[in-house]
Amino acid sequence: MKMNEKHEAFAEKTTPQLYKIGMFAQMNHITIKTLRFYEEQGLLLPAYVDGENGYRYYTMNQMADIQRITALKQAGFTLDDIKLINQGADTAYLLSTKKAALLKKIAELTSQIAVIDGYLSGPAGTLDAPVLIRTIPAVTVASMKKRIDSYDELFSLMPEMGAEMERLGCRCALPEYCFTHYLEPGFRDEHILIETCEAVTEKKEDSALVKFRELPEITAACIFHKGSYSNFSESYAAILRFIEENGYKICGNIRENYIDGIWNKDREEDWLSEIQIPVSRA
């Protein structure tokens, strides 16, 4: 053939190797039943079906399809999800949506583990006072700020505040929510600046003693405290240890929520309070 003679490019053509269904299943470490199920669901069709005997055959290239189906199933995708992907759905969107769902599940599981850890950190064999992370809704409060000489003065303030709220025409919200803020950092045993708050149904005109304001929704680490306020330190130790060990940081004023106390319980051991500490992820 002369150098300038026109000729067609030569390319060797080969027929893909076909594998019977049994061999293909073995190659991919799955069962024949699984391959037949994928065919029924329209996920993976055989490359060739013998019209006389119905034998199914697959090619080496289809191994990538099997691996993709297996990987997506391991990631939590349903067969319907995989069908959508095979049909050209927005893969990036589906993957991102699945990732967000998995992260939410991880957060839920982490929260469940934290509750268990809260129990494990307490006395052996008890199920008292776990620390919980929960959302405390926004609330309208009547509040009174005052510097007190000792914590014993706290409850002498309640009747005074209650009388002023009654004079202003306040109605307490239900369920009742009464708590104290400590407005200065660190522990003080005298000259303590506090803000006592009571949830109300609506704001009234401020007076010299009582002011009204809206408190936003918060995420808080919470622990119930049973009994005397004199051993609050034990509950504080538990909740602060939980915050440190579970990757949280304090991001607001601590609240002591008074649920039952001297005003409605005869026995000190029946008093019930809740410590609420606003937190965010560290």
Sheet of 48-49, strands arranged across: 18-20, 56-59, 48-49
How confident is the model at residue 11, as a pLDDT? 46
| C-beta atoms surrounding 209 within 10 Å | 16
How confident is the model at residue 7, as a pLDDT? 44
Per-residue burial over 98-114, b if 16 or more Cβ lie within 10 Å, else e, is eeeeeeeeeeeeeeeeb
Interval 264-274: pLDDT, tens: 888 888 889 99
- 3-state percent breakdown (helix, strand, coil) of the chain, nearest 5: 40, 25, 35
Task: State how far the Cα of 132 lies from the Cα of 208, in Å rounded to an integer.
Answer: 37
> What domains are defined for the chain?
18-89 (1.10.1660.10), 132-281 (3.20.80.10)
Among 169-178, 189-198, 248-257, name the one with the lowest average pLDDT: 189-198
pLDDT (average), residues 144-170: 87
| C-beta atoms surrounding 153 within 10 Å | 13
* Phi-psi group of 125: left, alpha or beta (phi > 0 → left; psi -120 to 50 → alpha; rest → beta): left
pLDDT (average), residues 77-92: 87
How confident is the model at residue 91, as a pLDDT? 84
The dihedral of CA 224, 228, 231, 233: what is its sign? positive
Alpha helices (runs of H) in 127-281, residue ranges in sequence order: 154-167, 232-245
Percentage of the chain with pLDDT > 70?
A: 89
Task: Indicate whether 119 pLDDT > 90.
Answer: no
Three-state DSSP at 186 gives coil
Task: Indicate whether 233 pLDDT > 50.
Answer: yes
Among 18-32, 81-95, 119-133, 201-215, name the one with the lowest average pLDDT: 119-133
How confident is the model at residue 123, as a pLDDT? 56
For 189, phi then psi, to 5°, come to -105, 5
How confident is the model at residue 5, as a pLDDT? 47
Q: What is the DSSP letter of 192?
A: E
Three-state DSSP at 18 gives strand
How confident is the model at residue 13, as a pLDDT? 55
How confident is the model at residue 116, as a pLDDT? 74
Q: What is the DSSP letter of 201?
A: S
Nearest Cα neighbor of 194 from 160, 236, 150 is 150
The mean of the pLDDT values for the chain is 85
